[in-house]
Structure 1
Amino acid sequence: MTTRREQTSNESRELILNAAAELFAEKGYRQTTFHDVSQRSGISRGSIPWHFGSKEGLLLAVLERSVARVRDGLAAVPESGDPGFGPFDLGVGAMFALPTTKLFVTLLVEALEPGSPIRDRYVEIHDTLRDHCRRWLERLPLPPGLSAEALAVALVGAGIGIHQQWLLAPDRVDAPEALAALRTLVAALLPPADRGAG
């Protein structure tokens, strides 16, 4: 049975994680301070290292929780039934509408730096997204010579690129419209009888 103290500690931890995820997505990891997280969460600054050890520990905890949420979200997408565009709209489109997407895109540059503590987490995130796309694509009648694996890489790359452009210039980039265009391009790859499925 959870004690009141443990419950309070867990609640504080969640408030810190929520605040840090929002701030990392808005400002990036380097520009976010413990003071920022404390103000946003309402939890004392000294409690943050007590829960996470360091700023890097906080970042890793935020990403681990976010990866778990992406997995849970994609696992909820139906795998059975019509292999048409229902899974695309629910899965490929939905994975770029998750609250974690902005966080992942914002922190991507830091993940690319040599020795980055979050590089392995990003490899894991991309593996998860590509695997989801690949499993959906393997159910479709793709043209000869086009592998589901390669197309999954292209779809995830396109989705990330769309969101990077949208974050940089939201007044110039319509992310939903661009994702709809991506859907149309994928539809053009399928035989005519399969294009309207879903």
Structure 2
Amino acid sequence: MAGRVWGKKARNREVIMEAAKALFEREGMERVTFNDIAEEAGMSRTTIFNHFPTINDLLLALAEQEFQSIMDYYVTTRLSGRELIMAMFNRLIDDTCDFPVLTTRLISTILIVDSERQTFSKFLDMIEENLDPAFPEEEREEIAIMLTGNYFGLIGYNFFRHESFNRSKMKKHFAVLASKIF
């Protein structure tokens, strides 16, 4: 994961990323060009390319931004155990409901790109670290698998059933599924 950048460059990067997220969701990933992002961000196309040479670089940055947000929460929250695990998944659900199409694309990017798999592996570690230490390690791994599977399953279910991405409904559904696991 790249180090954080501060100042005007960081603000420009953030504006570009927010513009891209909105466009990807509104227009669909395949239809958005760097020209579209530049127009939405109020910047030149060259500025966009200076930050992100390819759409894949932009997607990786968006995935890293999402993970960094969860890491920041993990480090600063006073929650622990099951409460923390549920709060992290609720944050993911919030972002998923805001950007379901983009989230699905980021998930596929995470699965394909080795460096991103390693990043997501840290998320699994955070889950396992917050499970009851009385659980054997193998059982903690299984619970982490089931919880992440439930999250991915909810996304797929909503797409397959043409359901809206309603955050309160998804959080409630996730909580019911999680209660059957731990």
Does 2:43 correspond to 1:51? no
Counterpart for residue 68 of structure 1: 68
Note the C-alpha offset of 1:26: 4.6
Q: 1:165 to 1:63 in 2, by over 3 A?
A: same
RMSD in angstroms over aligned alpha carbons? 3.4
Q: 1:97 aligns with which of 89, 94, 97?
A: 94
Distance (whole Å) between structure 2 residues aligned to residue 174 and residue 109 of structure 1? 22
Counterpart for residue 120 of structure 2: 126
Counterpart for residue 106 of structure 2: 107
Q: Which runs of 5+ in 2 are unaligned?
A: 1-5
Note the C-alpha offset of 1:28: 5.0
Amino acid at match of 2:39: Q
Counterpart for residue 146 of structure 2: 154
Distance (whole Å) between structure 2 residues aligned to residue 161 and residue 20 of structure 1? 26
Q: TM-score, normalised by structure 2?
A: 0.72
Paired residues of 1:16 and 1:41 also in contact (CA < 8 A): yes
Deviations 1:8-30 (A, max 9, x none): 44432221122123334455544
Paired residues of 2:63 and 2:110 also in contact (CA < 8 A): no
Greater shift, 53-62 or 151-160, is seen at: 53-62
Counterpart for residue 77 of structure 2: 77
Count how many residue pairs are aligned between Structure 1 and Structure 2: 174
Greater shift, 127-136 or 175-184, is seen at: 175-184
Amino acid at match of 1:170: E
Larger Rg: 1
Paired residues of 2:124 and 2:144 also in contact (CA < 8 A): yes
Does 2:179 correspond to 1:180? no
Paired residues of 1:166 and 1:175 also in contact (CA < 8 A): no
Amino acid at match of 2:155: H
Paired residues of 2:59 and 2:106 also in contact (CA < 8 A): no
Q: TM-score, normalised by structure 1?
A: 0.67
Deviations 1:63-95 (A, max 9, x none): 332322222123333355xx4x43344233333
Counterpart for residue 3 of structure 1: none
Does 2:12 correspond to 1:20? no
Paired residues of 1:52 and 1:58 also in contact (CA < 8 A): yes
Q: 1:108 to 1:89 in 2, by over 3 A?
A: closer
Distance (whole Å) between structure 1 residues aligned to residue 137 and residue 72 of structure 2? 32
Deviations 1:95-152 (A, max 9, x none): 332468743323334555xxx5xx225413431332222122234x65x897011110
Partner of 2:94, secondary structure, is coil
Of all paired residues, the percent bearing the same amino acid is: 21
Partner of 1:97, secondary structure, is helix
Greater shift, 128-137 or 93-102, is seen at: 93-102
Note the C-alpha offset of 1:48: 1.1
Query: Which is richer in helix?
Result: 2
Note the C-alpha offset of 1:159: 0.7
